Structure 1
Amino acid sequence: MYIPSSSLNWPSSGDCCLWEGITCDAIGYVTRLWLPSKGLSGTISPSIGNLTHLSHLNLSHNRLFGPLPITSFSSLIQLQILDLSYNGLIGEFPSTLLSNHIEMVNLSSNRLHWLIPSSYFQQAGNLMSFNVNNNAFTGPIPSSVWIDSSCSVRLLDLSYNDFSGQVPHGLGNCSKLTTFRAGFNNLSGPLPDDIYTATSLEEISLPVNSLSGTIGNGIVHLENLTVLELYSNNFTGMIPVDIGRLTKLKHLLLHINNLSGSLPPSMKNCTNLTTLNLRVNFFEGHLSAFNFSTRSKLKTLDLGNNNFTGILSASLYSCKSLTAVRLTGNGLEGQILPDIAALGSLSFLSLSSNNFTNLTGAIRSLMGLKNLSTLILTSNFKNEETTDDEHITFSSDGFQNLQVLGLGDCQLYGQLPAWLGNLRKLPVLDLSLNQISGSIPGWLLNFPSLFYLDLSSNLISGEVLKELSGLQALVSAEIFDEVDRSYLELPLFDSITNQLSNLPPAINLGNNRLGGSIPAEIGNLKFLHVLNLSRNNLSGNIPDEMSHLANLEMLDLSGNHLSGEIPASLKGLHFLSSFSIADNNLQGPIPSGGQFDTFPPSSFEGNPGLCGAILLKLSCLNHPPTTTGLVPMPISESSNEELGYGLIAGAVFGLIIGITGGALYPLPKLKFMQHSRYNRRRCR
Structure 2
Amino acid sequence: MGRLFRLRTIVFSNNSFGGGIPNNLSRCSKLEWLNLVDNNLTGNIPAELGTLSRLRTSILGEIARLRRLKFVLLSINNLSGKVPSGLYNISTIISLSVAVNQLEGNILPDIGSTLPNLKDLYIVGNLFTGTLPTSLSNASELESIDFSENNFSGTMPRDLGKLLGLRYLEVIQVGDNLFRGSLPDSIANLSTYLSVIIFPINQIHGIIPSGIGNLLNLTDLSMATNNLAGPIPSSIGRLHKLQSLLLDQNKFTELPSSLGNLTSLITLNLGENNIHGSIPPSLGNCHSLLELVLYKNNFNGSLPTEIMSLSSISTFLLLDHNALSGSLPSQVGLHGEVPIQGVFQNGSAISVVGNNDLCGGIAKLGLPLVYPLNQATTSY
- Per-residue CA deviations over 1:208-260 (Å, capped at 9, x if unaligned) read xxxxxxxxxxx334445433333333332210111112333333222223322
Q: Which residue of 2 aligns with 1:603?
A: 370
Q: CA RMSD in A?
A: 2.9
- Report how far residue 279 of structure 1 moved: 1.5
- Report how far residue 386 of structure 1 moved: 0.6
Tell me whether 1:308 sits opposite 2:103 in the alignment: yes
Unpaired segments of 5 or more residues in structure 1?
1-218, 475-479, 481-503, 591-599, 606-611, 618-684
TM-score, length basis structure 2: 0.80
Indicate which of 411, 418, 424 corresponds to 2:203.
Answer: 411
Task: Map 1:42-441; keep pairs closer than 5 Å.
Answer: 219-268=1-50, 269=52, 271-287=67-83, 289-296=85-92, 298-313=93-108, 314-315=110-111, 317-354=113-150, 355-382=152-179, 384-386=180-182, 388=184, 392=186, 396=189, 398-441=190-233
Structure 2 SS opposite 1:420 = helix
User: 2 CA distance for matches of 1:575 and 1:299?
Assistant: 44
TM-score, length basis structure 1: 0.47
Tell me whether 1:551 sits opposite 2:312 in the alignment: yes
Structure 2 SS opposite 1:357 = strand
Tell me whether 1:468 sits opposite 2:296 in the alignment: no
Structure 1 SS opposite 2:360 = strand
- Per-residue CA deviations over 1:93-131 (Å, capped at 9, x if unaligned) read xxxxxxxxxxxxxxxxxxxxxxxxxxxxxxxxxxxxxxx
Tell me whether 1:526 sits opposite 2:317 in the alignment: no
User: 2 CA distance for matches of 1:243 and 1:317?
Assistant: 25
Q: Which residue of 2 aligns with 1:576?
A: 347
Structure 1 SS opposite 2:42 = strand
- Per-residue CA deviations over 1:297-352 (Å, capped at 9, x if unaligned) read x2211111222223222256322322111112223233334421221111111112
Q: Which residue of 1 aligns with 2:335?
A: none
State the percentage of identical aligned residues: 26
- Report how far residue 375 of structure 1 moved: 0.8
- Report how far residue 419 of structure 1 moved: 4.7
User: Which structure's CA Rg is the greater one?
Assistant: 1
- Pair 351,371 (structure 1): closer, same or farther in 2 beyond 3 Å: same
User: 2 CA distance for matches of 1:424 and 1:589?
Assistant: 42
Q: Which residue of 2 aligns with 1:65?
A: none
Tell whether the 8 Å contact from 1:262 to 1:285 is kept in structure 2 after alignment. Answer: yes
- Per-residue CA deviations over 1:613-635 (Å, capped at 9, x if unaligned) read 847x5xxxxxxxxxxxxxxxxxx
- Per-residue CA deviations over 1:589-618 (Å, capped at 9, x if unaligned) read 56xxxxxxxxx955349xxxxxx9847x5x
- Report how far residue 418 of structure 1 moved: 4.7
Tell whether the 8 Å contact from 1:288 to 1:310 is kept in structure 2 after alignment. Answer: no
- Report how far residue 438 of structure 1 moved: 1.2
Tell whether the 8 Å contact from 2:233 to 2:256 is kept in structure 1 after alignment. Answer: no
Q: Which residue of 2 aligns with 1:509?
A: 270
User: 2 CA distance for matches of 1:553 and 1:543?
Assistant: 18
User: 1 CA distance for matches of 2:304 and 2:211?
Assistant: 35
Tell me whether 1:442 sits opposite 2:204 in the alignment: no
User: 1 CA distance for matches of 2:235 and 2:95?
Assistant: 35
- Report how far residue 439 of structure 1 moved: 1.2
Q: How many residues align?
A: 346
- Report how far residue 421 of structure 1 moved: 4.3
Structure 1 SS opposite 2:160 = helix
- Pair 412,317 (structure 1): closer, same or farther in 2 beyond 3 Å: same
Which amino acid counterpart does residue 370 of structure 2 have in structure 1? Answer: S
Tell whether the 8 Å contact from 2:112 to 2:137 is kept in structure 1 after alignment. Answer: no
Tell whether the 8 Å contact from 2:69 to 2:90 is kept in structure 1 after alignment. Answer: no
